[in-house]
Chains A and B, each alone.
Chain A
């Protein structure tokens, strides 16, 4: 008896199987969730929209709340880009954020790797000591840092701006946790193959934690790019300012030039976008496990 002669009720229910599952009506909870997300999205985008909008306005229109400038102008951009100061701040910020990022990626991971993969007496204490520095806020540290920079002659220099951030407890902690996912077998296999410990770290362990390194690089770059308090305190001369410090002083004492600040801010988001686009490619999960059992 073929399927066709069967009474309809017994026929294999192809139609039923092919039919799309009935669309679930979106329930109330879901609608509320979407609404909240939507509002959150607006709240996050608005400042950026206003930043760009203000940067296209003439000074007299700055305190007007409208989103579309009445007479859009790129005058502000020409002014900021031709102003030598902004150029200097931009270069300063690039140098500082880049050097700090490289330093963190190298040294945080070196220390994190050591704490993770080597058993030595006092290891736990060192780790706890590093972690505990996370509990001290920057505001408490700037005065000791300042006094230290002063006595060492680091005030108003790149080194002075950078030294507190060249390594971070957070980065060390992050890297230590990620190195836990690198199997010891990988390291021991390399040891048997004759690599020294530094080579193992660099050629075996580091490539396996690329996603973490990329995340760390993004964090550190953004953190240093937007850092304000410490660079403000440690710098004196206008040529040593970073972008945030310099921008905050745009205009003269009496009149803050918001349109210029917003223009500078808009330009200064470009490197952060580039960094994010470059490094997020590496944030691919599951790289480590691929070499283990299938």
Chain B
């Protein structure tokens, strides 16, 4: 087990820089998830940590030593790939034992270790099978077993669940989390799925465009997004973003709605983006923050997603599933002060005010 840190890490392919100075500290035993849209540099970062990609500049520390110039095998990490990368010509036992080939352990110890890992993953019965005789979830478990068998100091996962169907994904998500609680090894897990990130992580690293946008616990990134990108990326359905103007007493949206907010005198008059999550919008009979006509309703059972056409664009709200508004209804929506997020209209940086400091 080991802590890991990245210092001003950059990566360029030819002249194109794809990572622009990544700084991150990961504590020993922590479960950190990198999340972000496709192409934002998650895999590249992970592969540099693994030693599969050369570092353009900056430093990677694992367990206190700089590993920039170490071969992958000298870093004592293990990686699980999206396509599992288990060898079709070897049995499950051989596949799991593959990581021990260069360990120098006596054969009996190796066998014992394989059995131990197989038992931990509940696949003792499958050891004699070939990968072609396994289901997708079982193959992924073999890949995890192969990573575990060496008892590495850091586990790296690159979108390991994206090839599984939705149900299996949920199940494996839980299994990996349990596994982490049991073995306690540092894990860095890459995904583009914010639900996976929220449910598994001790801390989430949200990336976009080769930059880290925010690092925080799931709670923090959900409650206090650092900028409009994080606010829109975390949480489903996405946060509604309304162009607005802020003054000392409150905010007036460009579409005409307004809400009183104690922003304070030094806040000044400025253009902002007002963010409010669908869950935080309520139907109201009084003066609303936004008003419009219901365009589409998506019943989810306990609640219904209501898509509303407003003067400021489409707004999504969650309504009680038992009494949803009907398509064509004119509705007005309101939100509680403390559920409102303000972002600078140009930079998207979150502006602190009252409850959001």
Which residues of A approach B to under 8 Å, CB–CB? Answer: 183, 185-186, 188-195, 204, 207-208, 287-294
Contact = CB atoms under 8 A, between A and B. Distances in A.
Interface in B128-142: 130-132, 134-136, 139
A30 to B, nearest CB: 37
Task: Kindly list the 6 A-B residue pairs having the minimum CB-CB distance in the complex, ordered from nearest.
Answer: A291-B88, A194-B73, A194-B102, A290-B88, A185-B85, A293-B163
Interface string B19-62: 00000000000000000000000000000001110000000000
Given A185-B83, A204-B87, A208-B88, A195 B139 contact: no
Contact of B83 (A194, A207, A292): A292
Size bracket of the B interface: 20 to 34
Nearest to A189: B85
Contacts of A193: 73, 78, 98-99, 101-102, 146, 150
B308 interface: no
B85 A188 contact: yes
Q: Which of B89, B130, B132, B139 has the most CB of A within 10 A?
A: B89
A288 B131 CA distance: 11
A291 B132 CA distance: 7
B72 interface: yes
Given A287-B88, A291-B86, 9 more contacts: A188-B81, A191-B72, A192-B78, A193-B146, A194-B101, A194-B103, A287-B89, A288-B88, A290-B130
Contacts of A195: 73, 101-102
Given A193-B102, A293-B136, A185 B81 contact: yes
B52 A183 contact: no
Contacts of A287: 88-89
Contacts of B130: 290
12 contacts: A183-B83, A189-B79, A193-B102, A194-B99, A194-B103, A207-B87, A208-B88, A288-B88, A291-B132, A293-B139, A293-B163, A294-B163
Interface SS of chain A: helix, strand, loop or mixed? helix
Given A183-B83, A290-B131, A190 B88 contact: no
Nearest to B143: A189
A191 B79 CA distance: 10
B158 to A, nearest CB: 9
B84 A293 contact: yes
B226 interface: no
A183 B103 CA distance: 25
A97 to B, nearest CB: 27
A87 B132 CA distance: 47
Given A288-B88, A290-B88, A191 B73 contact: yes
Give the residue among B51, B71, B87, B150 with the most A Cβ atoms within 10 A.
B87
A249 B150 CA distance: 65
Given A186-B87, A189-B81, A207-B89, A294 B136 contact: yes
Contact of A192 (B72, B82, B131): B72
A208 B50 CA distance: 24
Among A185, A190, A192, A194, max chain B CB count under 10 A is at A192
B73 A192 contact: yes
Given A287-B89, A292-B84, A293-B163, A188 B52 contact: yes
A294 to B, nearest CB: 4
A73 to B, nearest CB: 51
A191 B51 CA distance: 9
Residue of A183, A193, A289 with highest tally of chain B CB at under 10 A: A193
B9 interface: no
Q: Which of A207, A287, A294 has the most CB of B within 10 A?
A: A294
B239 interface: no
Nearest to B47: A188
A188 B46 CA distance: 13
A290 B84 CA distance: 11
A157 B176 CA distance: 64
B4 interface: no
Given A192-B77, A193-B98, A194-B101, A293 B83 contact: yes
Contacts of B98: 190, 193
B132 A290 contact: yes
Interface in B74-109: 77-79, 81-89, 98-99, 101-103
A189 B86 CA distance: 8
Contact of A291 (B71, B72, B73, B84): B84
Interface string B272-294: 00000000000000000000000
Contacts of A190: 98
A292 B81 CA distance: 10
A192 B47 CA distance: 11
Contacts of A204: 87
B160 to A, nearest CB: 11
A69 to B, nearest CB: 50
Contacts of B89: 207-208, 287, 291
A200 to B, nearest CB: 11
A190 B100 CA distance: 11
Interface centre among A185, A189, A190, A191 (most CB of B within 10 A): A189
A292 B130 CA distance: 12
A44 to B, nearest CB: 35
Contacts of B99: 193-194
A171 B88 CA distance: 24
A232 B357 CA distance: 91
Contacts of A188: 50, 52, 72, 79, 81, 85
Contacts of B134: 294
B95 to A, nearest CB: 9
Nearest to B152: A192
A67 to B, nearest CB: 48
Interface string B94-126: 000011011100000000000000000000000
B85 A291 contact: yes
Contacts of B102: 193-195
